[in-house]
Amino acid sequence: MRAGVAGSTAAPAVLPLIELRGVGKVYGQGQAAVHALKSVDLTIEKGDFIAVMGPSGSGKSTCMNILGCLDVPSGGSYLFQGVEVNMLALNQRALLRRFYLGFVFQGFNLLNRTSALENVELPLVYRGAPAAERRARARKTLEDVGLKGWEDHTPGELSGGQQQRVAIARALVTDPVVLLADEPTGNLDTACGREIMELLYALNSSLGITIVMVTHELDMAAYSRRTVRFRDGRVETDERNWKGAV
* Alpha-carbon span 244 to 222, nearest angstrom: 7
On the question of pLDDT at 6 being above 90, the answer is no
CA torsion sign for 155, 160, 165, 170 is: positive
Q: What is the pTM of this model?
A: 0.89
User: Comparing 31 with 183, which gets the higher pLDDT?
Assistant: 183
Query: What percent of the chain lies above the pLDDT cut of 90?
Result: 87
Q: Which CATH number fits domain 45-74+89-240: 3.30.460.80, 2.60.40.10, 3.20.20.10, 3.40.50.300?
A: 3.40.50.300
d(CA 239, CA 8): 35
Per-residue confidence (pLDDT) for residue 11, from 0 to 100: 55
The pLDDT of residue 125: 92
> Residue 4's pLDDT is what?
44
How high is the pLDDT of residue 15?
86
Determine if residue 155 is left, alpha or beta; phi over 0 gives left, psi from -120 to 50 gives alpha, anything else beta: alpha
Q: What is the mean pLDDT of residues 149-164?
A: 96
**Least confident piece of the model among 10-14, 122-126, 141-145:** 10-14
Mean pLDDT of 158-184: 95
Express each pLDDT in 180-212 by its tens digit. Answer: 999 999 999 999 999 999 999 999 998 899 999
Is 243 or 230 the better-scoring residue by pLDDT? 230
CB 78 within 8 A of CB 85: yes
pLDDT of residue 12: 57
- When pLDDT is averaged across residues 62-89 and rounded to a whole number, the result is 95
